[in-house]
Amino acid sequence: MGLPFSAFIGAAKAKRAIILNLINPRIGGVLLRGETGSGKTTLLRGLGVGVVCPNQIGYENLVGSVDFEASLKQDKLIHKGALLKVADGRALILDQLHLFNRSVISTIISAQQNGSFIVERSGFSKTITTNFAILAALSPSESTLPAAVSDDFGIIVDLDIINDIRARSAIVNTALKSRAELAEYYANDEKLRQSIARAKIALKSVIMPFTLQLEAAKMLENYHFGGNHLDVKIVETALAIAACEGHAIVEPQDLAEAAELVLHGRRQQSESPQSETPQRQDEGDDQPNADNSPEQNQNQSEAESESEAQDDSPLPDIDTQQNVDSNDQITTEAIGQGIDFTVGVEKHRIREQIIGLGKREKRIGKDRHGHAVFYRSTDKYDDIDIFGTILKAAPRQSARRKANTVNDDVRLIVKKSDLQRKVREHRIGNTLIFVLDASGSLRANKRMEALKGTIFNVLTEAYVKRDKVALIAFRDGDVDLALPITGSVDLANKRLRELPSGGNSPIADALSYAKRYIQSNQIKSRESKYVLIFLSDGRANASSFGDAPIDDAKKVAKALATINIKKVFIDYESGRIKLGLMQQLAELAGAELIKVDALSEKELTETVRAIK
């Protein structure tokens, strides 16, 4: 048995949230956010009233399956054990929530909110009631949840690593105690469980005054929170607090505490830069968490935000850019560090159009590759799902045995119409194809330096996530495969540092090369999701196709639209007069367009992170 709940040092708000959710599961669950070592798991399991849900749980174990033996004997489908039913009257513990399949999380939350879940199989449908609290935890640095998922939780609490020396020493001393020495804490836990049981009974008779319901709505209006679901969560939390404190009627202080519990984590999340996009979480500040929990009375160092110097000097206008000599000397620039320019990115369009693109996806396969996730009817004797086939045949055994005049010893009669084939699912990786304009125009204002830094940052992250990347660079009338598709960050680093820039801009040749390169690799490997990221100002001034460079570029862009992949064009054209050529090319290619007024390694990296 682990450390008793009562022996846990600090985290008063997290403890309170867990107790209230055990009293009133209608609050919607508690989500603890904190880095490794903050005590999330210990808190979730401390009271010993929960059922731990494995993060790789399958749908059959979650909602239950069919008892074959009973079904064959009774000639009807009999449902047996489901974890959602086992958790009835208790708590379901979801540790490392970010590792759970999204459909599993959705099923659990739906069952908790509705107080029931539906089991549906071939010829079988049954509604099963259940009532449980959700106790969940995740590490923000590991991953983030979609807002729609985290918002389903009633209370969100952030846990910080304890830095106070005395508190850390007390934690060590407590952890070293034997079970006999912890007997007092275990006794306190038992008293707490009994108090929770009494409060659950008292909850049924607690009254919520209408005036306080209106007050809850005013609180949400003051904090600019939308949606009625938060009103409900605050009211349900206030009812639990009143029951816990022995109040027959919810009092103003109960409502105030409830509002603080429900809204605090959401305010911190909305105010933190880390919550703008999931990618910002990956940047990793030195601090383990963006929030400091007020319940911990330790000295904790606050993360200092570093002000970044910005170059307010105006960018060169169109005339200056057009005067770049296409025969300028070719130069190789190093990846810049710490250089920042004023950047204007249409962030709302990025989120609307491409947020979440390129995350590791699951694809339903047509072969035997991957693991079986469900089954469907088939007339072929290939990759048969025994479970599904027997399930389909079971309800028909009585009639079939009566009609069987050949062999009375047959226990199970299966016909071709019963056959079920496994439907398999497998993960696919991402292949990001960068097409980079390395012409002379990129050398202005250290644009090439910013782009190199951006690509190197994304390549590093792609390697960690086991994705692959490639880089096609074009300049001086030539197109070069600077980096073939690879997952090697070392090779990418070497090639990027050696990448030259300068000369003219053969956009048509580059897009044509990229089209052929992607198509050939799609034939070789279909187990990858390709994303084309084209970075340029769109000002084509060279082409080997014979017509005007921009006309050739438009023709190739139109042909590029025939490739069924995600295409994103990043337009960094600047100056007082803009030609808008990248927008024209993007429309012809069927690509999303992101306009960047000026280039910054940091901001451009965030943009590309959103794409992938």
Write down the residue that tokens 């992170």 correspond to. 609
- In this predicted structure, what is the pLDDT of residue 59? 78
Residue 547 has pLDDT above 70, yes or no: yes
Structure tokens at 119: 């089991």
Instruction: Copy the structure tokens of residue 54.
Output: 């494995």
pLDDT value of residue 176: 76
SS (H, E, C) 189-223: HHHHHHHHHHHHHHHCCCECCHHHHHHHHHHHHHC
Mean pLDDT value of segment 507-524: 89
Count of residues for the chain?
612
Digit-coded pLDDT (tens) for 218-244: 887 776 666 667 888 999 999 999 999
18: pLDDT strictly greater than 90: yes
Q: Within 13 A of 303's CA, how many CA atoms are on the CB side?
A: 14
Report helix angle 229-245 to 210-222, nearest 10. Answer: 130
Range from 47-56, 72-81, 219-228, 261-270 that averages highest in pLDDT: 47-56
- Half-sphere exposure of 423 toward its Cβ, with a 13 Å CA cutoff? 11
* pLDDT score of 148: 74
Supply the pLDDT for residue 331: 42
- What pTM was estimated for this model as a whole? 0.51
Give me the amino acid identity at 388.
Answer: G
Q: How far is CA 325 from the centre of its chain?
A: 46
Q: Which residue has the higher pLDDT, 35 or 202?
A: 202
Query: Which H or E run includes 361?
Result: strand 361-365
Highest mean predicted confidence (pLDDT) among 198-202, 322-326, 568-572:
198-202
CA distance 19 to 195: 10
What's residue 443's pLDDT? 59
Rounded distance, CA 513 to CA 408, Å?
69
Domains of the chain and any CATH numbers: 5-271 (3.40.50.300), 318-361+427-611 (3.40.50.410), 366-426 (no CATH)
Span 362-368, average pLDDT: 56
* 610 Cβ contact partners less than 8 Å away, ≥ 6 residues apart: 277, 279, 350, 351, 354, 355, 357
Q: Per-residue b/e over 571-608, b at no fewer than 16 CB within 10 Å?
A: bbbbbeebeebbbbbbebbbbbbbbbbbbbbbbbbbbb
Q: What pLDDT, in 10s, does the model give residues 482-501? A: 888 877 666 777 777 777 77
Pick from 57-61, 139-143, 605-609 the range whose average pLDDT is largest: 57-61
Residue 368: other Cβ atoms inside 10 A: 10
Q: What pLDDT, on a 0 to 100 scale, did the predictor assign at position 77?
A: 65
Angle at 425 between CA 419 and CA 428, to 5 degrees: 155
Res 302 pLDDT > 70: no
pLDDT per position as a tens digit, 235-273? 999 999 999 999 999 999 999 999 899 888 776 554 443
